[in-house]
Every structure is written in structure tokens, then in C-alpha cells.
Chain A
């Protein structure tokens, strides 16, 4: 039987297909009931060593809508970590003040480290370029809701695939559902080799391309990510790349797409998706951002064991 009680949520790799579906199903129930007081008296410590708005606020909102309260910080400059306290010491102390920890930290593996030293459950809200499992749950939830299924979809990942941790987690999760994947990026921002090898070990059909031309008509979903200017040593290279990876209504009409294509984006966007797309049936990214709350409510309730 699936149980999330007192479990850490560190990496999507730690969950099997049944467990993923359990959370998605619970999120659906959560979406149908706006308020529940199941977490009354529980305290969530929200520790953000790196900036975030959507993840942090949707966790706080989810906790409060379930009747719980939130303590924490949104930047580490104001804490004793700034005085040199180690991450393990900090979480050991904070553990005494809360029932669950949500942690975002710039170092990869930091959430696992925290989980190893404390007894309360730890939820990874992003550790460097590594994992962001609750984002993956909400991406899956959005795909499921807008496509009606997760099985056998053809999905294109577009943009910065090298540093985009949301992509790395999502492709792993989708590998349970027989997805075919197209990785579309400039050569310098390709998927990490170990990621691709892992997918091939898991028998996933995946392809790497430099543009959407020729493949766009096959896609059920496009998962678009932001290309950051800082990643390019040469600004001219950046300008070239920017045009190719910019989605707009006219561009999609020109290259041809499926009528029921859905476009996701973890947001914030800069200009990789033109506003002309916002009002189309294809755009589901705002919807996706809103799904953060029911999905995080499901995770909090499951981990704090109030539903069993």
C-alpha cells in the first residue's frame, strides 16, 4: 500500500509510478475542496536560501489552507547562517520548532543532507541544478488534467535543458508512462549526458534536435524553459539562439502543430513565449502555476499523515 507518512520528498527518483499517481489523485481531491482544517496546530518551517516566489508562496498558501501555520525565512542573509552556522546545525535547531521542513538551497544534495540529520520530514523545494520534485508533481498534474492522460504522450522539451532542473526531474517521472521525448536546444544547452544515459537505460525513446522544425507536428506537449543570457559567453550567440527558441502564435502556425497541443512553462518567462499565445487553447502555463497549491496541499497532507 502506498504511504507517504513521515517520508522525505527529496527526489522524484525515490517514487514509483503508483506513488506518483497517488499524489496526483489526492491533488484532484484537494482541488475540489478549497478549505480543510486537517493540519490545525501543525507548523511548517519554510527555509529559502535562494529566492523564489511561486514555490514559496504556494507552499505557504497550501499549509494555511489546510489549517496549519508557517515560520521561516525567504533569504538567508538575516539568519545565523550568515554568521557561518552550518546547514546541518541550522536544520537540527529548526527541527525543534516545526513538524515539517521545506528547504530550498543553492547546493545540490542539501535537502538530502538535511533529511539525513533531522527526524521531521524534509521537502526539497529545489537544490541547485538537481531536483525540484514538487514542481514535477505539479507539471505531471497539469499534463494529466489538460491531456486527460499521462500514458504514451510525445513531449518536446525546449530551451535550456542543461541547467533546467525542472526538466531533469520531469523526464525521469515521465519515463514511467511510456513517453517519447524530443530534446530541443542549442548545442551548448543540451541535456546532460548522464540524464540521457539514464533515460536510455530505462528504455525511453528520446531524440535530440536543434529546432522544432520537422518535429512540431508530432508533439502532444511542449515544455518550454527559459534561456538565460548569463549562460552565454558571447552575446551574439545568445541573440541567435533567442529567436529560434521563441514561441509565438504565428511561428507555431507556420511550422504546424497538433490542434490539441498544450504548452507548459515553469515560469517566470522572459520572452521565450510571446504574449500572443496567452489567450490560446495551447497555453496552460498560468493554469500550471495555479496547480501548485492543490498539489502541495496533497503532499503536505500525505506526508503529515492526516489522511490515513
Chain B
């Protein structure tokens, strides 16, 4: 039998291969404090690939595309596993989309998107390291400038 790092859930989502230091940020994106069912968070687990990784398991929840897009910005190596009846029924890597709408705030205080009621829009100019260019003011943000909405 396979031994799991963090114990099993019956149905839900597992976000694996999170860069360990970003685990709590991912937990924040997923708003775990509002979950009703079991939530398990693991940090500094050994990973062949990342050295140290984080895992988040959320019982009863299937995570949606918008959340996946946000996670991709913070933890570009993460894998999402959908669990049904204790089995992994679906597995995919998060992917940064070409355009990010309504997820990230523009860091330029003089940008029109921070003064008018419009959805923010950023073009991904580089995925690794992540660099985003505001559709409106054209300023380019690095990962340290990213503030999620």
C-alpha cells in the first residue's frame, strides 16, 4: 500500500509540488479558512524535484480555473490532483495563461486600472521568471510586485 505524506481524503483536491515557501500563500488563494470539510496543509516535505515542497489537501472541493490561474503565478510547479473515492481521477500541472484578467492588481498607482472600475488585464511577457505587463499602462511587473486581487 502506498504511504501518503499527509493523510488521505475521500473526495476533493490535492495541490502538490508547491514551492514550500509559497504554501501559505496558496492556502490563502484557496481561502481555506472558509472550508467546512477536512483541510490538510503540509510544508517542508521532501521532494526529489523541488527539494522541499508543500501540499494542500481540501476535502469536498474541486478547485476552479480561476484559482488554478492564481496558483500558477505563485507556485508555477504545482500539480493539481482531483480525488474521487480515494483515487486520483485527474491530474494536471498549473499553467500560467497568456493573459491574466481580474486576478492581479497593477502595481502602478497612476495606472488607469487603479482609478476606474475596470477589470485589470496583464499580458504574460515571460513565464519563468514570471513577468507581467499591464495592458493599460505597459509597466512590467516581476514576481515581487505581484499583488493578487
Which A residues form the contact surface with B (CB < 8 A)? 11, 13, 86-88, 105-110, 112-113, 127-131, 194, 197-198
Contacts and interface: CB of A to CB of B under 8 A. Distances in A.
Contacts of A197: 140
A237 B140 CA distance: 30
Nearest to B117: A86
A124 to B, nearest CB: 11
Given A112-B112, A128-B110, 18 more contacts: A86-B116, A87-B116, A88-B118, A105-B112, A106-B110, A107-B110, A107-B111, A108-B108, A108-B111, A109-B112, A109-B113, A112-B136, A113-B116, A113-B136, A127-B112, A129-B110, A130-B139, A197-B140
Contacts of B111: 107-109
B108 to A, nearest CB: 6
Given A87-B112, A128-B110, A129-B110, A108 B137 contact: yes
A11 to B, nearest CB: 6
A257 to B, nearest CB: 34
A110 to B, nearest CB: 5
Given A13-B138, A128-B137, A194-B139, A108 B117 contact: no
Nearest to B109: A108
A131 to B, nearest CB: 7
B135 to A, nearest CB: 6
Nearest to B115: A107
Q: In terms of DSSP, what is the predominant structure of the interface of chain A?
A: mixed
A11 B118 CA distance: 20
Q: In terms of DSSP, what is the predominant structure of the interface of chain B?
A: loop
Nearest to B126: A201
B134 interface: yes
B112 A108 contact: yes
Contact of A194 (B106, B136, B140): B140
9 contacts: A11-B138, A108-B138, A109-B111, A109-B136, A109-B138, A113-B113, A127-B112, A127-B137, A130-B138
A300 to B, nearest CB: 24
A110 B112 contact: yes
Interface string B116-136: 111000000000000000111
A86 B113 CA distance: 12
A112 B135 contact: yes
Contacts of A88: 116, 118
B118 A113 contact: yes
Contact of B140 (A87, A131, A198): A198
Given A108-B137, A108-B139, A198-B140, A113 B117 contact: no
